[in-house]
Structure 1
Amino acid sequence: MQPASSHGTPALRTRSRRLLARQGLLDKLAGPGDRRCVVLQAPAGFGKSALLLSWQRELVSADTDIAWVRLANLAGGDLHFMAALMAALGDIDAAITRHAVAHARPDADAIERLVIALVRGIAARGRKLVLIVDDVHCAQSGNVLHALQLLVEYAPPNLLCVFASQDELPMTLAHAPASKAVLELRNDDLRFSLPESIAYLGMRLPDLDARAAAAIHRLTEGWPALLRLASVDVRRRRGVHSPLALGVPDPEPFAAYFHAHVFPRLSATQLRLLTCCAAPTRFSAALCADLAGESFTPAMCASLLEPLTREGLLSEAPQAPATGGERWWHLHPLLCSVLLSHFAAWPEAERLKLHATACQSFAVRGMHHQAVRHALAAGNCETAARLAEHGAVTLFVKGRLAEMIALVRQLDACTIGDNVHLGLWMAWVELADYRLDDCARSIERLRATPGRLDPAMRYRLTLLGCLLAIRSDDNDAVSRLLPELLAPPAAADDFALAGRRNVLTWLYLHTGDFEQARRIQRDDPLPLVDGEPVIGTLFGSLVGQCLVGLSFAIEGQIHRAERVYRQVLREAQERGAHCAEAARLTAQLLVEVLYEQHGPLVATRFIQEQLGTPDGLIPDTTLRMILVSNRAQQAAGRWPEALAHLADLTQADGLLQRFHMDRALACVLLEQLRIQLKSSDADAARATLRKMEALQARRPDAEASSILRRVADVGERARIHLAMHDGELPLALAKIETLLRRYEQRGQVGIVAALLLQAAEVERRLGHTEASKTRVCAALRLGHRLGLMQTLLNAHDDALPLIRTAAAIPKLDPVLAFFIERIEALAQSQHDEQTEPPPTQRFRDDRRLTRLLTLREAEIAELLQQSLPNKKIALTLGLSLDTVKWHLKNIYMKLDAHGRRAVAARMRHELELEHDESGSGK
């Protein structure tokens, strides 16, 4: 071996590497000046040598001497080690080893005598020297370990010993006297954080987007060697999407690594146990014993599995409910994929037996999802159906709707057969998956068999029909179900009754009876399940309060809506993950508040950073986020992009058309028409109007349909814009007057404010100056009372100059004058920000994405796990301290983690649930 010194690199220098500067770890290695020892202890592939190479660069730049010895390159034996050590030190300065050579005598004290001579030579040189001994686990002699221990104990102040090993070092070596401080870096310290993984993958794969990099990070869990192999696999495919970039484990790129570096370190029994435990997504020692066979006990399995957590092969999972406090683990995702390929090679009878055993074990523990999954894997569809039906009822009545949907999502049509109860639960899954047509057909089939559903199940069917109508934005369908909704049977469960309360609120706020909608939430008793209030789910009281806020927003009372939203969001964050749906809905509704107060650019940034995915939980939030996101493009003058975004949404296979969201579709078409007119493309605008008229003509009974009436009103607003563009000012004014009366009767005064400004512009063009000023003042008073600024700015293209004319009115009310200044400031801020707006969000249909942390939240969670305080997290990511605190609240809420240490476990649990559901949905 040719040892390294401060003038060279070890044998690793023959391989060209692109090393990621891991500044956090490098800062730890730099450490205090009185440190005497650094220990890097982790399995192969955790980047120990790469980290030391990066550190070596900094040490060389700081004019520090470096000696590097790799025990893996030695033939073995005491003499070989001491010769390599002396050669490495002699390469720095021959004076260091001169006395050691003179005192070399083969006796019992030879090792100690040589070490003493070396440390005297290092001390005499005086310069800082770092001695790196790599692959210490390869030491074949106790004398070698003794020599390393003596080097630490006798080290002069200018010597720092660094040891890298795959195995645990002897305690006497790893824990030197307190006066000679020791830094230990292990698996969790050496894993790449999410930002580091993204940076590393970006360095190797410049075209890889951050979402794909984050998916690969989660699969590899930051294991450096696995990250490198993943990058090789993505590059090898040359444009063909790698499953890894989609978060799907693929064993092929990693099998050779695990076979070469991981499996040889395991006993045959450990490997067998891990293979048994690869089939379930989580396991305990007792479950492992069940799967392994009669000769194994839980205690035996625990003793064999526990050491593997230190190897990075197992991670502790959150306790499963109703399991008596058992300790649970899950396998590293990529190791699990490799072991599953081993398991697939077992004889079929043995595999089926293991799945059947797992099914029984999970069923006893009340873990419904896992029990059904293994029943299906065992080929026992009858057992799967029975367990799913029982589990679905249990989860539903306890208010655990998301878990119920995940449970039933595993079943296929063959397993469900003609079981009407399972058919009902599958219809809930279809609704959750936004398969609205399938859900409607399922409800129709179930309603055709009334005698086969007991009263409680039938009431759940009624509730499902109401939710389908809400998601389809069909309030008339909800009205038709109102008699059934108001007459629950005695057998109706508490959770269904809780849902009834929120459905009624929804219906009343969309029929314009805002006070009745609010009265239901204010006066009706709080719904209870098992004596506990239903708070955080879709049917809970917090979502009910969200709807109260929405009733104010529809009226145009943005100030009051905001107060409700802020209060709900604060409570939801305090209560944790069980209120995630309420918190998400509230945040979506807050988008409108931000839009009114700060404009579309700020609101769109909020969608991206706080919500992650911009798909709304209800049609109202979907529409608001579509328009806000699009207006961010308009505010930046990116008209082609804005039009392309809207064109995508209005296609036959677009989101709005597929889900029959006619009201939202009409509003999007109106937005498209306005951009076309602003671009002086009147022909395209008229073609858009014809699409709106065709939308209205889908059914002839527009007067009988509240949705179609609203579609017709949106069409009239489009005609007003066209009339103003064409100079048909009296016609435009007449249409505005008609719509003003209509919206005032409905109490939708937010739209009234915009219409008043449009009327003022028409009056100005007609030369009616005083009438125009009167209309402007009326719009400003209404806007000020309701908290509307962006709505006034967006009323028409010349809204801002028109608003400014009011400022010149003699003795203008100071309140209105100040309100005008605020509107002008808002317009100026948008002008200042428009150089680089956030990109338009594309609206995904995958509802399950909403359960993941946003990329920014994941970055903060990774830094939080490194014990960084909030201020350092803010500095690292370039955020304000308040923004970091906001994200932390979201992280704790989504993961139900009430402390920093709980975040890692909760993140793993969330990913496990996602894996379960994606697997069952195939």
Structure 2
Amino acid sequence: MQPAPFAGSAASSHTGAHAGSLPGSPAVSAGTPALRTRSRRLLVRQALLQRLSPVPGRRCIVLRAPAGFGKSSLLLTWQRELVAEGIDIAWVRLAELAELTVNGEGDLHFMTALMGALAAVDAAIARHAVAHAQPDADAIERLVIALVRGIAAHGRQIVLVVDDVHSAQSENVHIALQLLVAYAPPNLLCVFASRNSLPMTLAPAPGADTVLTLESDDLRFSLQESVDYLRMRLPDLDERSAAALHRLADGWPALLRLASADLRRRRSARPLPPEGVPDLAPFAAYFGAHVFPRLSVTQLRLLTLCAAPTRFSAALCAELAGTGYSAAQCAELLVPAAREGLLRGVTPGATGAPGAMGATGDPAEPGSLVSAPQAPADERWWQLHPLLRRVLLARLASWPEAERQKLHAKAWPSLALRGMHHQAVRHALAAHDHAAAARLAERGAVALFVQGKLIEAIALVRQLDPATLGDNPNLRLWAAWVELADYRLDDCARSIAALRAEPGGIEPAMRYRLTLLECLLAIRRDDSDALQQLLSQLLAPPAAADDFARAGRRNVLTWLHLRNGEFERARQIQRDEPLAMIGAEPVVETLFGSLVGQCLVGLSYAAEGQVHGAERIYRNVLREMHERGTRCTEVRRLTAQLLAEVLYERHGPLVAARSIEEQPGTQSGLIPDTTLRMILVANRALQAAGRWREALEHLAQAAAFLQRQGIDRGLACVLLEQLQVQLTRNDSDAARATLQDLEALHALHPDVESGALRQVADSVAQARIRLAMHDNQPAQLPLLLSHIEALALRYRQRGQVGLGVALQLQAAEIERRLGRTEASGARVRAALRLGHRLGLMQTLLGAHDNALALIRAARAVPNLDPVLVFFAERIEALAKPPQPRDEHAGQGASTISRDDRGLVRLLTLREAEVVELLVQAMPNKKIALTLGLSLDTVKWHLKNIYLKLDAHGRDAVAKRLRMEREGK
């Protein structure tokens, strides 16, 4: 929506023009025209407002962008700042004058409106101009000179805004605007807003700051601005959905407004579809009204053709357009569309502009252009705006079927030559050329695999249906990789068995890839025995095995030793074996790269209970990813999943669970270890929020999933957690039934003493201890203590020292019940000392229902080591319970029920953590130390918090938060 400043003045001017006089008193007072004609909440775009701020020597500001980029809204918010600073403003909107113009009176209307706007600032300016008006050939220049002299005499700074310059049709109006800039005195700043290039030439004086030009790329909303704008319109919209809409609209303000209106409408009518994909009709209408009329018929046709691929160049466009078009001609036609914000340049190998992938519904194809040796190195590539591409694809779908097939048949050879494997296969399938699609997929999968792009190879083959796969054993092997990625483990196992039994066999390089696939299947099934059986094949790659397959061996071996409890051996493999190379480059990213290997090293420390060591490794991985600029999805997901355990120990389950929720894809574990961690962290957050019934339902669903996948180690851990929840709820009968399920599971693996499945026996032992402690039969306590000691000894022998921390506190509680106060206190202090060394806090709290009381009692002991005192205080702070929640309210709410309501839902995870510590009256330095941040980073977060919560300092934030939590 465009503002209508001086609407009243324009009407008065029109009436006065026929009377041959200027309006004596404008309808809108100076400095506040737009504010009085329209009352609406505007987004304050501080970064752009700072760029607009008047600077010495600046003569002119130009805002040039298509409709809907927020030019007038930006000027309205700027106007408020200028008025507050005492700067005078005059505003003329040429679109309204164009509507009034009849019989060639445009010149008169413009000059009348211009003088009326300046008269609202200072009536003497207009009087001076009227006094010098003469009806001759130089009338316009004479009037401009008179206005300029009056402005100079006014003395104070004036900002003259001329909006909708593209509406000016008269040459004389263009001349008047040109002269205003050329003759402007130092106290006049001219601001022009237009959809097109200005119809006059600005002749700035020498100097870099004479003219400021802001175009569509400058005016796009940033991610944070989109989030803020959408929350103004949809207060309940979560940050992830807002970010998705930002990517979809690519920061185009008007499209964001349409998307938010569509969301608001559909939320009241029907459920929101996945990804919040909007109804295309409003966007098609918008593009039809404001964009397509500005394109030639040829431009619109070319853009429609180019909507078929996700990226295109001028040469590719010419090939799709057919005879009669050259790359140079297409480039000439496409470049203006880029200036209009309809498409954006992307570099070969990049994922492209924000929102280009995923928002369009196409399979992700990161990095596909890198493998395009046939494409010219300097070939320029573009992507269509995501929503525009959707609209154009809808237009393309209305073309005759034969014409569309012809387009796809042209597209796939061109895309294949450029190494754009995914799109080539997609277009071959759309052209119904299944044989070509199979050939392209086979060649592309091999090319991507040997480059280390396993996920892309899987995504490529996923496009093929069984009929296209046919009897080709190579394609069937890639299809088995797809089955593994989709967690169709039984299908994957059957495919592997069929390929192993292939009569003619498969070539050695593919056979080694098959071995690697079988190893990954064993890992995903948590089957270290099956992996052990494949070890000899894994360690003896054939000469034909590619480098990437060899690289995978390193991480597979690390996981095998990790699961066997050989922690130092697992680390040694990553430390001592040479880094695998592909060509001259080390394999760093992907599932088989060194960064995932380092994550497994961190996991080895975590398995021992050394949280400090694990966190150090994970943080190093993140730092290296940042330094390399890598976008490796697998590494980022795996690191985020493993860091959740660190956050759980340091900050509790609520913070850890929210860190998982805020990172897309993190909830799905990459390996059984992370799958189990995600389940337990999410469930303990439900428990911490008092949502016991939901916690039990969640555990039941997790147990069913793990049972279907045959991951008995994970199933045992989930059953143990279920038993603990039941005991907390004092449901002893249910807990005994769960123990029977655990014992039945153990009966399936009765003699396992090593490997992953020994955890089943450990879970049974822990369940019996917890149930016996809950029953609290005094005669059984000495025997129970001996069971705890025996289990703790087994953990120490295996090097899993962290698991003994909770057992120490359980033993301390038994000693207390037996009346052995001194022995109980000694065990608590030993547990605190070990927990402090390893970095375990939440583990201590969860050891037993009375663990916090034992820790408090130990802290009160005179002359206790100050380090242990401080550590105990931190544990007590961690134990502060969240506000109670009604189990029956808000069933669809997020896991972090307390933090996701009210003021704090406006904040990011890190900002919410800062606020929690701020409410505890921690100074900035202590907040930085607690969260592992720099002092400058804490100050930066505080600035954002003050802005979002509309607070003016720490005390105001704390007061508002306390009042909200008290329900005031």
Whether these two folds match at TM > 0.5 is yes
Q: Secondary structure at the match of 1:316?
A: strand
Q: Secondary structure at the match of 1:538?
A: coil
Q: Secondary structure at the match of 2:90?
A: strand
The separation in 2 between residues aligned to 1:669 and 1:174, in whole angstroms, is 78
State the 1:114 CA deviation: 0.4
Q: Secondary structure at the match of 2:144?
A: helix
Q: Which has the higher contact order (CA 8 A, sep 6+)?
A: 1
Q: Secondary structure at the match of 1:639?
A: coil
The 5 Å alignment of 1:822-861 reads: 822-831=870-879, 834=882, 840=895
State the 1:117 CA deviation: 1.3
State the 1:423 CA deviation: 1.7
Number of the residue aligned with 1:726: 775
Q: Secondary structure at the match of 1:120?
A: helix
State the 1:366 CA deviation: 1.7
Structure 1, residues 172-230: CA drift from partner, whole Å, max 9, x if none? 32745549833322112221222222222222233433222221111111111111222
The separation in 2 between residues aligned to 1:649 and 1:677, in whole angstroms, is 14
The separation in 2 between residues aligned to 1:856 and 1:172, in whole angstroms, is 50
Aligned length: 853
Number of the residue aligned with 1:42: 65
Number of the residue aligned with 2:553: 500
Number of the residue aligned with 2:108: 79
State the 1:333 CA deviation: 0.9
Q: Indicate conservation of the 8 Å contact 1:216/1:244, yes or no.
A: no
Match of 1:29 among 42, 52, 72: 52
The separation in 2 between residues aligned to 1:594 and 1:768, in whole angstroms, is 35
Q: Indicate the larger mover: 277-286 or 780-789.
A: 780-789
Is residue 2:805 matched to residue 1:753? yes
Q: Indicate conservation of the 8 Å contact 1:100/1:117, yes or no.
A: yes
Q: Indicate the larger mover: 257-266 or 274-283.
A: 257-266
Q: Report the AA paired with residue 791 of structure 2.
A: L
Match of 2:75 among 39, 52, 56: 52
The separation in 2 between residues aligned to 1:11 and 1:747, in whole angstroms, is 72
The 5 Å alignment of 1:288-687 reads: 288-319=317-348, 320-321=369-370, 322=372, 323-325=375-377, 326-449=379-502, 451-577=504-630, 579=632, 581-600=634-653, 603-604=656-657, 606-607=659-660, 613-632=666-685, 634=687, 637-640=688-691, 644-651=694-701, 656-687=706-737
Q: Indicate conservation of the 8 Å contact 2:589/2:635, yes or no.
A: yes
Q: Residues 577, 718 of structure 1: CA spacing in aligned structure 2 closer, same or farther, 3 A cutoff?
A: same
The separation in 1 between residues aligned to 2:599 and 2:209, in whole angstroms, is 59
Q: Residues 250, 459 of structure 1: CA spacing in aligned structure 2 closer, same or farther, 3 A cutoff?
A: farther
The separation in 1 between residues aligned to 2:159 and 2:53, in whole angstroms, is 11
The separation in 1 between residues aligned to 2:418 and 2:158, in whole angstroms, is 58
Q: Secondary structure at the match of 1:796?
A: coil
Q: Indicate conservation of the 8 Å contact 2:661/2:667, yes or no.
A: yes
State the 1:254 CA deviation: 1.0
Q: Indicate conservation of the 8 Å contact 2:64/2:195, yes or no.
A: yes
State the 1:355 CA deviation: 1.0
The 5 Å alignment of 1:199-238 reads: 199-238=228-267
Q: Indicate the larger mover: 709-718 or 256-265.
A: 709-718
Structure 1, residues 35-66: CA drift from partner, whole Å, max 9, x if none? 43221111111121222233344445555543
Q: Residues 703, 132 of structure 1: CA spacing in aligned structure 2 closer, same or farther, 3 A cutoff?
A: same
State the 1:288 CA deviation: 0.8
Structure 1, residues 388-433: CA drift from partner, whole Å, max 9, x if none? 0111112112211121112112112222133222121122122223
The separation in 2 between residues aligned to 1:683 and 1:748, in whole angstroms, is 32
State the 1:113 CA deviation: 0.7
Q: Indicate conservation of the 8 Å contact 2:811/2:824, yes or no.
A: yes
Q: Indicate conservation of the 8 Å contact 1:254/1:334, yes or no.
A: yes
Q: Indicate conservation of the 8 Å contact 2:637/2:665, yes or no.
A: no
The 5 Å alignment of 1:174-193 reads: 175=204, 178=207, 181-193=210-222
The 5 Å alignment of 1:133-148 reads: 133-148=162-177
The separation in 1 between residues aligned to 2:232 and 2:646, in whole angstroms, is 40
State the 1:714 CA deviation: 0.8
Match of 1:7 among 29, 32, 41: 29
Q: Residues 292, 166 of structure 1: CA spacing in aligned structure 2 closer, same or farther, 3 A cutoff?
A: same
Q: Indicate conservation of the 8 Å contact 1:546/1:565, yes or no.
A: yes
Is residue 2:812 matched to residue 1:764? no
Number of the residue aligned with 2:868: 820
Q: Residues 576, 342 of structure 1: CA spacing in aligned structure 2 closer, same or farther, 3 A cutoff?
A: same
The separation in 2 between residues aligned to 1:193 and 1:504, in whole angstroms, is 44
Q: Indicate conservation of the 8 Å contact 1:643/1:672, yes or no.
A: no
Q: Residues 21, 594 of structure 1: CA spacing in aligned structure 2 closer, same or farther, 3 A cutoff?
A: closer
Q: Residues 242, 608 of structure 1: CA spacing in aligned structure 2 closer, same or farther, 3 A cutoff?
A: closer
State the 1:739 CA deviation: 1.9
Q: Indicate conservation of the 8 Å contact 1:573/1:579, yes or no.
A: no
Q: Residues 823, 298 of structure 1: CA spacing in aligned structure 2 closer, same or farther, 3 A cutoff?
A: same
Q: Secondary structure at the match of 1:760?
A: helix
Is residue 2:763 matched to residue 1:714? yes
Q: Secondary structure at the match of 1:444?
A: helix
Q: Report the AA paired with residue 459 of structure 2.
A: A
TM-score scaled to structure 1, two decimals?
0.84
Q: Secondary structure at the match of 1:346?
A: coil
Q: Indicate conservation of the 8 Å contact 2:92/2:113, yes or no.
A: yes
The separation in 2 between residues aligned to 1:205 and 1:605, in whole angstroms, is 21
Q: Indicate conservation of the 8 Å contact 2:182/2:203, yes or no.
A: no
Q: Residues 27, 883 of structure 1: CA spacing in aligned structure 2 closer, same or farther, 3 A cutoff?
A: closer
Q: Residues 599, 233 of structure 1: CA spacing in aligned structure 2 closer, same or farther, 3 A cutoff?
A: closer
Q: Indicate conservation of the 8 Å contact 1:39/1:174, yes or no.
A: no
Q: Report the AA paired with residue 717 of structure 2.
A: C
Q: Indicate the larger mover: 646-655 or 46-55.
A: 646-655
State the 1:371 CA deviation: 1.0
The separation in 2 between residues aligned to 1:197 and 1:879, in whole angstroms, is 29
Q: Report the AA paired with residue 826 of structure 1.
A: R
Q: Indicate conservation of the 8 Å contact 1:36/1:152, yes or no.
A: yes
Q: Report the AA paired with residue 51 of structure 2.
A: K
Q: Secondary structure at the match of 1:32?
A: coil
The separation in 1 between residues aligned to 2:735 and 2:315, in whole angstroms, is 68
The separation in 2 between residues aligned to 1:553 and 1:115, in whole angstroms, is 77
The separation in 2 between residues aligned to 1:234 and 1:141, in whole angstroms, is 42
TM-score scaled to structure 2, two decimals?
0.81
Q: Indicate the larger mover: 193-202 or 295-304.
A: 193-202
Q: Indicate conservation of the 8 Å contact 1:216/1:245, yes or no.
A: no
State the 1:793 CA deviation: 3.4
The separation in 2 between residues aligned to 1:416 and 1:702, in whole angstroms, is 44
The 5 Å alignment of 1:768-779 reads: 768-773=820-825, 775-776=827-828, 778-779=830-831
Q: Report the AA paired with residue 421 of structure 1.
A: N
The separation in 2 between residues aligned to 1:770 and 1:121, in whole angstroms, is 93
Q: Indicate conservation of the 8 Å contact 1:614/1:841, yes or no.
A: no
Q: Report the AA paired with residue 60 of structure 2.
A: C
Q: Superposition RMSD on alpha carbons, in Å?
A: 3.6
Q: Report the AA paired with residue 639 of structure 1.
A: G
Q: Indicate conservation of the 8 Å contact 1:3/1:10, yes or no.
A: no
Q: Indicate conservation of the 8 Å contact 1:604/1:632, yes or no.
A: yes
Q: Indicate the larger mover: 402-411 or 376-385.
A: 402-411
The separation in 1 between residues aligned to 2:896 and 2:584, in whole angstroms, is 42
Q: Secondary structure at the match of 1:99?
A: helix
Q: Indicate the larger mover: 383-392 or 779-788.
A: 779-788
Is residue 2:739 matched to residue 1:692? no
Q: Residues 20, 594 of structure 1: CA spacing in aligned structure 2 closer, same or farther, 3 A cutoff?
A: closer
